[in-house]
Amino acid sequence: MGALHEGHAALIRAAREHVGARGRVVVTVFVNPLQFGAGEDLDRYPRTLDADLAVAADAGADLVVAPAAEEVYPGGEPQVRVGAGPMGDRLEGASRPGHFDGVLTVVAKLLHLTAPDIALYGEKDAQQLALITRMVRDLNFPVQVLGVPTVREPDGLALSSRNRYLSEEERRHAAALSRALFAARGESAPDAVLARAQRELAGAPGLEIDYVALVDPATFADAAADHRGEAVLAVAARVGATRLIDNVRLTFGGPA
């Protein structure tokens, strides 16, 4: 959605590596009103197109597509939308009803408009990545979806366009999110991982925790106590007026 940072640059560089020197890398920049709920930060969401163009060019993009809302939604808000289904009602979807319907609707439109062979999205937005992957599979989009690992600040804080809202003190508080995730990653059993993350965050100042969850990355259902294979430990919290998300990926007991 713009306000590009090193995390976005990593996506662009990964795309360049996949397609090679002769391939074409297209970046879409669009602050999508459909995915903002009432009282969220649509109006104050950073819009820095000139800087975004420079970041994209430096990272190896060939083209930036940055349409106006009137171009993406020429008749106003669309009557027909992509529904995220049950996976979209959990975690982020429970906290932000309708959010993922808006995400998938605009991603579907942008994929149709740009027609890529490969589409890359950041693993920081793990639930979004899972839902886009599922949409592409369920609706037979002719594109391969790939995730790119989260890029972090030196203190561990996941890069986000919303980090610019944080004061110096709030940034120190926000770093507790990644510290808790990394500490929990050292546990060996699903229940122990979740309990450790909850304990670490319970004593962290300046955080209003929304959720801490250990989930199956394909369905975002809660991971069972005997879960084997990949899992995602995800957290969402408000730091001051800013809502942040983060996650780490784990593997239990080898392949499921």
**CA proximity to 27, closest of 110, 108, 150:** 110
Give me 235's structure tokens. Answer: 């957290």
Alpha-helical (H) ranges within 151-241 are: 168-184, 190-202
Catalytic residue among 5, 8, 99, 227: 8
d(CA 188, CA 194): 11
Based on the residue annotation, tell me whether 8 is a catalytic residue of this protein.
yes
Report the length, in residues, of the chain.
256
Sheet of 229-239, strand order = 208-215, 229-239, 242-252
**CA proximity to 106, closest of 3, 7, 4, 30:** 30
b/e for 56-93, b at 16 or more Cβ within 10 A? beebbbeebebeeeeebbeeeeeeeebebeebbebbbb
Please give the positions annotated as active site: 8
